[in-house]
Amino acid sequence: MKALSLSAERLRAMLSTMLLIRAFEEKAEELYGLGRVHGTMHLSIGQEAVAVGVCEALRPDDYILSTHRGHGHCLAKGADVRRVMAEFLGKETGYCRGRGGSMHIADVEGGNLGANGIVGGGLPIATGVGLSIQIRGTQQVCVAFFGDGAANEGAFHESLNLASIWDLPVVFVCENNQYAMSMPVHRAMRVERVADRACAYGIPGRTVDGMDVFAVFEAAQEAVERARAGGGPSLLECVTYRYRGHSKSDRQRYRTREEVERWRARDPIERLRGRLEAQGLLDPEAYEALAAAARERVEDAVRFAEASPEPDPATLLEDVYA
Amino acid sequence: MSRELSYAEAIREALRQAMEADPAVVLLGEDIGVYGGAFGVTDGLLELFGPERVRDTPISEAAITGCAIGAALTGLRPVLEVQFMDFITLCMEQLVLQAAKIRYMFGGKAQLPMVVRTPAGAGTGAAAQHSGSLEGWFVHVPGLKVVAPSTPADAKGLLLASIRDPNPVIFVEHKLLYRTRGDVPEEPYEIPLGQADVKRAGTDVTVVATSGMVPRAMAAAERLAGEGVSVEVVDPRTLRPLDTETILRSVRKTGRVVIVYEAVKTLGIGAEIAARIAESDALYHLQAPVVRVGGAECPIPYNRGLERAAVPQEEDVVRAVREVLAA
């Protein structure tokens, strides 16, 4: 096994963030089941290595654009779990004061320029963030997360081309979780890999195992450093899997239990844990302590969110300027 | 000091002065550099400000609209030129689902100081896909400001105000107005968004006209003055937010109103203006039903005569004014 180039401390922090995301989303699902939250949600359970591996390669002042399946991105970018949970519950103390909810959560100060309810909707915006960085000369980087479904939107083509011709510091990260809602990726595109499309834009394209946080981190770091140095955009495809359905309405008729189980056997959290234990950087007790701490942070966030005020209906028109 | 400029020159001057005053102002658009823009509006700005701030883009309307949004979110003040207003259909997702909603959706934590300039209107023989007046679609969207100047001086002052505004503005320019001329102050100045202007004072009939219809309404008013009819012409200038009070004040005074707009009549801005009059006390001042003069319910045809028939002309305004006077 290859030695891990990150410090033990950083690796444990990455594991903690993955555990936090998982605990957050399991709690979100539970709250939904109990009828304590309305609307829908898109869970990224199983995909934690992508959010954490990519964000680990970023500076605090770098930007991300997230997707409808964005709780993980938001937490991995450093958001306060209390305010994320408060937003999920639609409370005034949430990042968007309860106006955005799960699908539109943004932490602008923390560099998360927003989850997006439109498939591919963040890709054009990422080009502008890249342009702004380039003109302001700040050596920041913008990561645009999107799914395999978004790779078939026209916005994907326009945005990758624009970023390429202007050498914009944007890393396009495709979370290929195998399904665009119910449509399997092999039925939605003829090429084998989303990253194969990079050659059409004259930019590097790379496919990595999205269940391996270390593989994601290494590839992301390379793409981020390239962008930061003025080398232009890259397309990074992370092959991953969502354990849950697309949203709460999903009866999952398009896949088998066996398929889900096969992917679960490659669980990204278990995988990182196994590697850390094999290298003597973690023991089972320490792991349990990290997992318990993650769960407690989420419980604390729920207590905070539930104790927080609802937005006042009298403020309905605040921030409407026209 | 003021001197005469064309509408296109006034817009160019506003762009130049905004760029001189603030390095965050950048221009984006198809063929706005060497070519100078499809209508020559950005002519010469590339030479003054260089290709970094005057950016020719590929023909990728969704991406360049998103590009303006992302740039505005992170510290720039982009001004995007959409070559024909018809092409704004290719920008709709980014404008309506992203730009209009970001500030609200994010709980007020983000601002989008961006302007989308776009030439609208028929009269150039450009036929059905290059002659549209689609401003009404955007007036329907909370989160977008919609500005439609009718004179060179208004164009300059409103564009400077739009660029300084912290929110997204759709800035509708009328193709037939580009060559019209008028006095324009040399120094930079702003005309506040959301303020209508009484272009001609009168006592018998109010004509509310927008964008390219304002000069036609003014010509009609002049003709009717020769017949002893005193027409007041009100130009809303900003369609969202709409200065309802200036319109109502005029209607209360004259008791008769004709609303002239080039977009297809059904559900155009005239429908909203008529509704606001009907919802207000000005209704009790009306001595005749409200009359709307809008575009024909058809795509803009190519043939010159058909094209002319598809949008309101001076004589249509004159006829409508006589109609409300006779009622």
Q: Verify whether the Cβ–Cβ distance A135 to B142 is below 8 Å.
A: no
Chain A residues touching residue B144 (CB < 8 angstroms): 322
> Would you state the structure tokens that stand for residue B277, as one six-digit string?
């009059």
Residue A230 lies in a domain: yes
Chain A residues touching residue B107 (CB < 8 angstroms): 94-100, 319
Which of A104, A158, A322 is closest, CB to CB, to B63?
A158
- Identify the three-state secondary structure at position A111: coil
* Residue of A304, A175, A285, A188 whose CA lies nearest to A240: A175
Q: Verify whether the Cβ–Cβ distance B97 to A121 is below 8 Å.
A: yes
Query: Is B228 near chain A, with CB under 8 Å?
Result: no
Q: Verify whether the Cβ–Cβ distance A109 to B109 is below 8 Å.
A: yes
d(CA B83, CA B99) in angstroms, rounded, equals 19
Distances (CA, A) of B11 to B54, B159, B168: 15, 7, 18
Encode pLDDT of A61-88 as tens digits. Answer: 999 999 999 999 999 999 999 999 999 9
Residue A73 lies in a domain: yes
- With bands split at pLDDT 50, 70 and 90, how would you rate the model's confidence at A39? confident
Give strand ranges (E) for chain B: 2-6, 25-29, 54-56, 77-81, 115-120, 145-147, 169-174, 181-185, 197-200, 205-209, 231-235, 238-240, 257-264, 291-295
What is the number of structural domains in chain A? 1
d(CA A177, CA A214) in angstroms, rounded, equals 18
- With bands split at pLDDT 50, 70 and 90, how would you rate the model's confidence at A2? low
In residues, how long is chain A?
322
**CA of residue B261 relative to chain centroid, distance:** 11
Encode pLDDT of A119-151 as tens digits. Answer: 999 999 999 999 999 999 999 999 999 999 999
Least confident of A52-61, A214-223, A243-252, B135-144: A243-252
| Average pLDDT, rounded, for chain A | 96
Mutate to test the interface with A, among B19, B52, B87, B109 (most CBs of A within 10 A): B109
d(CA B261, CA B258) in angstroms, rounded, equals 10
Domain with CATH 3.40.50.970 in chain B: 2-185
Structure confidence at residue A249 (pLDDT)? 85
Structure confidence at residue B28 (pLDDT)? 98
Span B197-326: which CATH code? Answer: 3.40.50.920
d(CA A187, CA A249) in angstroms, rounded, equals 22
Which of B62, B72, B241 is closest, CB to CB, to A158?
B62
CA distance, residue B74 to nearest chain A CA (Å): 6
**Known catalytic residues of B?**
61, 130
Q: Can you list the alpha helix ranges (DSSP code H) found in chain A? A: 8-33, 48-56, 71-76, 81-88, 122-136, 154-165, 185-188, 213-228, 257-264, 268-278, 284-307
Fold annotation for B2-185: Rossmann fold (3.40.50)
Q: Verify whether the Cβ–Cβ distance B74 to A128 is below 8 Å.
A: yes
Structure confidence at residue A6 (pLDDT)? 87
Chain A residues touching residue B166 (CB < 8 angstroms): 321
User: In this model, does residue A13 exceed pLDDT 60?
Assistant: yes
Residue A40 lies in a domain: yes
In chain B, residues 173-212 whose CB comes closer than 8 Å to chain A: none
d(CA A17, CA A230) in angstroms, rounded, equals 30
Which of B76, B106, B167 is closest, CB to CB, to A132?
B76
Q: Verify whether the Cβ–Cβ distance B143 to A322 is below 8 Å.
A: yes
Residue A123 lies in a domain: yes
Q: Verify whether the Cβ–Cβ distance B107 to A136 is below 8 Å.
A: no
Which of A113, A162, A321 is closest, CB to CB, to B58?
A162
User: In this model, does residue A4 exceed pLDDT 80?
Assistant: no
Structure confidence at residue A5 (pLDDT)? 77
User: In this model, does residue A187 exceed pLDDT 50?
Assistant: yes
Q: Are strands B231-235 and B197-200 parallel, antiparallel or unpaired?
A: antiparallel
Residue A250 · residue A40 · CB < 8 Å: no
Which of the two residues, A39 and A173, has the higher pLDDT score?
A: A173
Q: Verify whether the Cβ–Cβ distance B73 to A142 is below 8 Å.
A: no
Prediction ipTM score: 0.95
Residues with Cβ within 8 Å of residue B21, at least 6 apart in sequence: B188
Print pLDDT tens along chain B (327 aa). Answer: 899 999 999 999 999 999 999 999 999 999 999 999 999 999 999 999 999 999 999 999 999 999 999 999 999 999 999 999 999 999 999 999 999 999 999 999 999 999 999 999 999 999 999 999 999 999 999 999 999 999 999 999 999 999 999 999 999 999 999 999 999 999 999 999 999 999 999 999 999 999 999 999 999 999 999 999 999 999 999 999 999 999 999 999 999 999 999 999 999 999 999 999 999 999 999 999 999 999 999 999 999 999 999 999 999 999 999 999 998
CA distance, residue A171 to nearest chain B CA (Å): 14
Chain B residues touching residue A104 (CB < 8 angstroms): 105-106
- With bands split at pLDDT 50, 70 and 90, how would you rate the model's confidence at A1? very low
Mutate to test the interface with B, among A125, A153, A317 (most CBs of B within 10 A): A125
Residue A320 lies in a domain: no
User: In this model, does residue A154 exceed pLDDT 60?
Assistant: yes
CATH code where residue A142 lies: 3.40.50.970
A51: containing domain: 8-307
Residue A258 lies in a domain: yes
Domain with CATH 3.40.50.920 in chain B: 197-326
> The whole model's pTM is what?
0.96
